Structure 1
Amino acid sequence: MKKKLLALSLSLAMAFSLAACGGNGGTANSNTPAGDGSDDGPIQVGFAQVGHESDWRTASTKSAQDVFSEENGYELSFVDCDNDSAVQLDAVRNFIQQGMDYIIIDPIVDTGWDAVLTECEDAGIPVIIIDRTITDSDKYTAWVGSDFKVEGLACGEWLKAFAADKGIEEINALVIEGSTGASATIGRTDGFKEIADREGWTILDSQSGDFTEAGGQEVMESYCQSYKGQFNVVICQNDNEAAGAMTAMDAAGVSYGVDGDVILVSFDANKPYVQLVMDGKINANFECNPMAAPMVDEIIKQLENNETPEKEVYVTESWFAAEDNIKTITVNGEEQEMVHVTQEVLDARPY
């Protein structure tokens, strides 16, 4: 089904129902072609990706390329926007001009989207947002991703339990944030700060490492000079920043991890960094699942069948720890497991 017919069906569907907020999303069967069996050719999908700044981003891109393949009934137009918001807006407008059937956006920043989403709406092209969120417009069909504030809250709740178990009475934390304006940065920062404020912890400093290894190293080098001997926790908002922070702390003679003086926490839980959790270099790592593409595929199948998808679909995620002293944590009133990383756990990681 192409976009003009789809726009009509969406308008009729919206007149009779409201899209509901979803729970944990399932995995679509991407081996089943997405097309409706007509002679219209493959479904054309344009994907405006944030960039290539991290291992997580690489996994997200590969997932999309695997799912939106020719054998699955798609023709994918992919644009790496290299963390440039203007480039991303231009990419979306080019997709409109090219007459894409669907547009996927992983938004670099969470605002400034209403105008271009209105243009997509006027062109009858459904837009599916993945990963990061958009806060200044609801003119998209569906969003698939993580609850970033919950990730930040989980980090704080684990740290509270871990410190109590180890008899650590005072927390003096340094935070290496992600890219400024990204919803992942905002959510993880707000979530952790909520727990820190509640528990009376000190956040000595919080600066952007731009979700890159080089950025994490640069910020951590500055921290080691400015706060030497004052901090006992480092929170890195993605794995690549954690890698940079470890390099900086190694050079400065700061010990970290299970056998060190500094508790090191990361987000994303890419397989090489879950390995570092198992090795005791990273104390805990909070997953951000990059495999949104199979669920987007399922949403497109629903739209092709004139069904109304849920407005929000959350991916499933796990929390990983180097030690097994903390079995569970409670986040927003729900008890969640902390996974002690063993070789079996590592081998089961898909990315």
Structure 2
Amino acid sequence: MSATRGPWRPAFITVGVALLLVTGCGKAEDQGVVAPTGGNDAVQATSSAPAGGSCTLQQFGGDKLDLKTAKVGFSQSEKEANPFRIAETRSIRDEAAKRGIANLQVTNADSKFSKQIADVEQMIDSGVQLLVVAPLNSDGWDPVFQKAAARKVPIITIDRKINAKHCTDYLTFIGSDFYEQGRRAAKQMATALENKGTVAILLGSPGNNVTTQRTAGFKDEIARSAPGITIDFEQTGNFSREEGQKVAEQLLQSKPSITGIYAENDEMALGAVTALKGAGKKGGDVKIVSIDGTRGAVQAIVDGWLHSVVESNPRFGPLAFETAQTFFTGGAVAENVIISDREYDRTNAKESLPVAY
């Protein structure tokens, strides 16, 4: 997202339990993101809609549609061993059922990009009229775009962006501001280390904007506000607990004096906890900050192993289908719908366990 934007006027739109703030393009600190309140199903978000940055059915092409009778496809990218993916798919299924959408087709790519492309192409061939996609990668979607465009099938991407043309290749992106997540994690790390020390980054999977932006946000904020902290190690753990553990084990052998670990998701953070325990470390010896907000990670804060967690909200169902409803009834849809994220630390982790996913 660009930090440059033209003038805008905020407009509040109430969407079920969702509160949307339509703003100009920019990072989350410019968008006025509000921390969500309420229980597991409460959703609040902001969306950016700069001049020329929205899409309508008239612009995109196609016909008005009743979602209740529509054929809808949802493509999940990764195995549902990850709590984020479990919560994400459940949110899509639950909201579809709540809205009376009887014809929902769900596929899972099992973390194989070629399978995800084949899954989505098959759903288009089967006649789906709307696609909700959680992309494994941000590039490589051209065959899908061509097939979807030929049949005027709008694509809503969730949690990861696709590098493509808005209102031509895809309809909208719904997800977190990943750059802002990285900045918030850096601020937490600076607090944990009192602005001095050496930090390792357990990188997410290469080839998607989540990893790129969470890394950039973290590094930029450390350089800006905590120059006494040195980033001394970076290696991908592919968002996996097992790989996160292996990388952390290598880290502790090669950099035994490391004082902080920034894990770009909770699974890698929990893998790092296992490595620390195996190395005879105690909770708090190495400060760990991560992103996701899974129940296991929030519990690890309570237990003293994690310092803090920035949530990445997986409950996209209400926003995805409300956005689709707006589009198919002739309304304008913003290019980016940015869902707001909580933050967990020692001050609220125990009481927040029921909210974590």
Taking structure 1 as reference, are residues 41 and 104 closer, same or farther at Cα in structure 2, changes over 3 Å only? closer
1:93: Cα distance to partner? 1.0
Structure 1 residue 275 and structure 2 residue 299: aligned?
yes
Is contact 2:237-2:247 (8 Å) kept?
A: yes
Of the three residues 272, 293, 296, the one matched with 2:317 is 293
Counterpart code for 1:190: A
Query: What secondary structure does 1:132 align onto?
Result: coil
Alpha-carbon deviations, 1:58-116, whole Å to 9, x = none?
11111112122386223111111111111111111111111101011111111122342
1:156: Cα distance to partner? 0.9
1:37: Cα distance to partner? 10
Partner of 1:320: 344
Structure 1 unaligned residues grouped into runs of 5+? 1-18, 29-35, 323-339
Structure 2 unaligned residues grouped into runs of 5+? 1-22, 35-41, 45-63
Partner of 1:329: none
Is contact 2:68-2:100 (8 Å) kept?
A: no
Of the three residues 127, 140, 146, the one matched with 2:170 is 140
Query: What secondary structure does 1:88 align onto?
Result: helix
Partner of 1:345: 352
Structure 1 residue 92 and structure 2 residue 95: aligned?
no
CA distance in 1, matches of 2:65, 2:272: 51
Query: What secondary structure does 1:68 align onto?
Result: helix
Query: What secondary structure does 2:145 align onto?
Result: helix
% identical aligned pairs: 28
For residues 76-91 of structure 1, the aligned pairs below 5 Å read 76-91=104-119
Of the three residues 217, 223, 244, the one matched with 1:197 is 223
Alpha-carbon deviations, 1:207-232, whole Å to 9, x = none?
1111111111111111111112x200
CA distance in 1, matches of 2:341, 2:248: 27
1:21: Cα distance to partner? 5.3
Partner of 1:233: 260
1:292: Cα distance to partner? 0.9
Instruction: Choose 1 or 2 for highest CA Rg.
Output: 1
Is contact 1:21-1:311 (8 Å) kept?
A: no
Taking structure 1 as reference, are residues 110 and 307 closer, same or farther at Cα in structure 2, changes over 3 Å only? same
Taking structure 1 as reference, are residues 106 and 37 closer, same or farther at Cα in structure 2, changes over 3 Å only? closer
Is contact 1:113-1:137 (8 Å) kept?
A: no
CA distance in 2, matches of 1:130, 1:284: 25
Is contact 1:277-1:341 (8 Å) kept?
A: no
Partner of 2:289: 265
State the aligned residue count: 299
Alpha-carbon deviations, 1:212-257, whole Å to 9, x = none?
11111111111111112x200011111111111111110111233x
Counterpart code for 2:275: A
Partner of 1:7: none
Is contact 1:114-1:137 (8 Å) kept?
A: no
Partner of 1:244: 271
Is contact 2:293-2:310 (8 Å) kept?
A: yes
CA distance in 1, matches of 2:156, 2:65: 23
Q: CA RMSD in A?
A: 2.5
Taking structure 1 as reference, are residues 21 and 191 closer, same or farther at Cα in structure 2, changes over 3 Å only? closer
Alpha-carbon deviations, 1:104-162, whole Å to 9, x = none?
11111111223422321221101101000112433211111001110001111222234
Taking structure 1 as reference, are residues 44 and 27 closer, same or farther at Cα in structure 2, changes over 3 Å only? farther
1:275: Cα distance to partner? 2.0
CA distance in 2, matches of 1:207, 1:118: 35
Q: TM-score, normalised by structure 2?
A: 0.77
Taking structure 1 as reference, are residues 41 and 149 closer, same or farther at Cα in structure 2, changes over 3 Å only? closer
Taking structure 1 as reference, are residues 297 and 153 closer, same or farther at Cα in structure 2, changes over 3 Å only? same
Query: What secondary structure does 1:234 align onto?
Result: strand
